[in-house]
Structure 1
Amino acid sequence: MKEKPKKIRKTKRKSLKILLLLVIILIAFIGYKGLKAYFKLQNATQGEVIHSSMRNQELKDTQPFSILFLGIENYATKGQGGRTDSIILVTVNPKDNTIQKMSIPRDTYVEIPDQKRKSKINGAYNSGLQSTVNTVENFLHVPIDYYVTVDFGGFKNIVDEVGGINVDVPFDFWQYTDTKPRYKVYFKKGNQHLNGTEALAYARMRKRDPRGDFGREERQQQAMLAIIDKLKSPKTLFKIDKYASVFSKNVTTNMSLSEGLFLFNDMKETNPKNITTLKLDGKDDYIDRIYYYMPDQTSVTAITSSLRSHLELDKSPANSNSK
């Protein structure tokens, strides 16, 4: 067998060395950005500690759990107090990789235990995060294990950082931006690419939606899923430190970093067919000329049953507070 010329062998070795060097640089680059992202995300995971009155022991790795997602509207109060503009409860069952989710309209008329009165559920946040957790637990009789709060003022920064999002606009409408000076953004039925300011306007419009809060909540969930879809991209690795910086400034949670990453990976891989959306039925009503959404008790009972079953809680809420 004829030996290959030394020049060819040297060229191949040189090419291999260059390729190996590039791989090492790439790994180091990703590792460096990953390390930066880790420390930045630690800020996001150092949120307020909450306590569930319906859990008396730590969750096991395979045990179903719940997450309360809250969109906080506090830019009008300069970051102080505020209200929950969006309330989404999600239950996750890791055993069969299923998810149940429901939106609670912000005007829902409920008992707010910490304020010892009945009012709109979004007002519970005025007494703090724990008050909102207590109110949701009291209303639906399911434990709240984790929470994630998103500052709506910073929501647009997150969207801009991921390069905008694509949404399927359900119908033509317009909405004012929250910028100064304000201006109208027009949305046309069909696929549309939105930057941060446009995405916030899209997620907040309610008055021109024939379905009111329910239509808005679907658009908010749509925007959240669009962000997650963007984060699935391999390009995420190269901007992970920038993403982490934006998220740490606008998102707080009581999840550990490992729990958050585990959840993100689970949600990323979940088949849409395994996601069930629950709808809270009710009616519009006024008390002292103030609008409220009055929940139908039959619907509340059915939702409680479904959520508790998904969380593998067999006892009825009337029988026990520890599940």
Structure 2
Amino acid sequence: MEDRRLKDKLFTMSEQDLQFTKEDRHAVFEQLHQLETHTAPKKSLTTLSKKFAPFTVSLIVVGLCIFLFMPSILHSNFNKEANTGIVGEPVVEEPEILTTLITVKSKEMDNRIYLNLLLTYSKNKKMLKVVSLPYNTYAPIANNSDGTTLYDKLLFAYRFGGAENVKATVSKLVNLPIDYYAVIDLETISTLVDTVDGIDYELSEDIRVRAITKVAFDLEKGLQGLNGEGVVALMMAASEGNGSDVFDEENLLKLLNAVMSKAKSDIPSTQLKELFTQLETNTSLDNLLKNYLEIHSTKLVSLRAGMIPDIEVLSDTEGKYYITFEQDFVKSIVRELTTFD
């Protein structure tokens, strides 16, 4: 009975936390930092209804800047270069729909992963779809020694087998094969953003958002000069609903366009190539350049309406916050990701 009262209290507190009022935001972020230091198994997923909110845009995420859209930045230069010494790879026939997972992790924070972007691309329609998976998502992150599955936050998946395990975890979570993956360190993102002297972005209101290497960022209304972690923190806030109406997915797309615009105009191709070597990926830059993808439109598939806050009771005074999804909702999202009309 005591556990139930604690769970009800924590659950109610989590719903209030997600509103991020000025009075309680600092305590909320401190609490979430403490909760993430634990790992514990949990019961099965609960339920909620489905909703899909797509946005059509030209550019999506800073991770794409390095991994997917970088070939478009380098493509013309690559074709013009003579005697590059690049050895051609065998041409392999790829499926009509390609899937890619892009993950941002932080070595400074014990290789936790904070941004997870699952992309599907239709070669026929030349269309890209993207969904952002919250790092607090309850997921099958590893296999126990007794053959059972360890469930915990997606945040911790890298610890149990690196980039390959992150790919396997997301594939199991959504029941969808993943062709390519790339894990990017937050430090690499920061290098990219610092190279272009930060990203200027104008906020319509004051906002406090969860950070990574510290508790939070307090950003004031008006033009802000964002560093790499600031950019990723705003992406996290938008994709997880932590920014409420102050910074939603529409704002996120504007920010990402600003990042891409800076990268295209200010970063030399030689530096982008160097940044690519710092990725953990199962493909090569040569392969990406030779298999250049033409993208006519991009849609962001939102998970926000299907997010279910949940608490795992750890003790009389501690609980662990998760985001869960009803399995039918996940299936509907996968159908949307893999259907190109």
Shorter-chain TM band: 0.5 to 0.7
1:287 maps to which of 304, 312, 320? 312
Counterparts of residues 189-200 of structure 1 (less than 5 Å): 189=221, 192-196=224-228, 198-200=230-232
Of Structure 1 and Structure 2, which has the larger fraction of its residues in helix?
Answer: 1
Aligned to 1:94: 123
Answer 1 or 2: higher relative contact order, Cα 8 Å, separation at least 6.
2
Instruction: Decide which moves more: 299-308 or 87-96.
Output: 299-308
* 1:123 corresponds to 2:156: yes
Counterparts of residues 128-277 of structure 1 (less than 5 Å): 128=161, 129-169=163-203, 171-174=205-208, 186-189=218-221, 192-196=224-228, 198-200=230-232, 202-203=234-235, 209-211=242-244, 223-233=255-265, 236=267, 239-249=268-278, 251-261=279-289, 266-267=294-295, 270-271=296-297, 274-277=298-301
Mind listing any 5+ residue stretches in structure 1 that lack a counterpart? 1-29, 43-57, 313-323
In structure 1, distance between residues paired with 2:218 and 2:130: 29
- 1:195 deviation in Å? 4.1
Q: Deviations over 1:138-160 (max 9, x none)?
A: 11111110011110123111112
Instruction: Decide which moves more: 121-130 or 95-104.
Output: 121-130
Instruction: Decide which moves more: 88-97 or 278-287.
Output: 278-287
Indicate the percent of aligned positions where both proteins have the same amino acid: 22
The one-letter code matched in structure 1 to 2:303 is K
TM-score, with normalisation over the residues of structure 1? 0.62
Q: Aligned residue pairs: how many?
A: 249
Does the residue aligned with 2:205 lie in a helix, a strand or coil? Answer: coil
Give me the CA root mean square deviation. 4.1
Mind listing any 5+ residue stretches in structure 2 that lack a counterpart? 1-76, 314-318
TM-score, with normalisation over the residues of structure 2? 0.59
In structure 1, distance between residues paired with 2:216 and 2:302: 32
Aligned to 1:49: none
Does the residue aligned with 1:298 lie in a helix, a strand or coil? Answer: helix
- 1:96 deviation in Å? 0.9
Summarize the Cα distance change of 1:62–1:284 in structure 2 as closer, same or farther, 3 Å threshold: closer
Give the structure with higher Rg (CA): 1
Aligned to 2:330: 300
The one-letter code matched in structure 1 to 2:125 is D
In structure 2, distance between residues paired with 1:141 and 1:176: 29
In structure 2, distance between residues paired with 1:308 and 1:178: 32
In structure 2, distance between residues paired with 1:174 and 1:258: 41
Equivalent pair of 2:237/2:243 in contact (CA under 8 Å): no
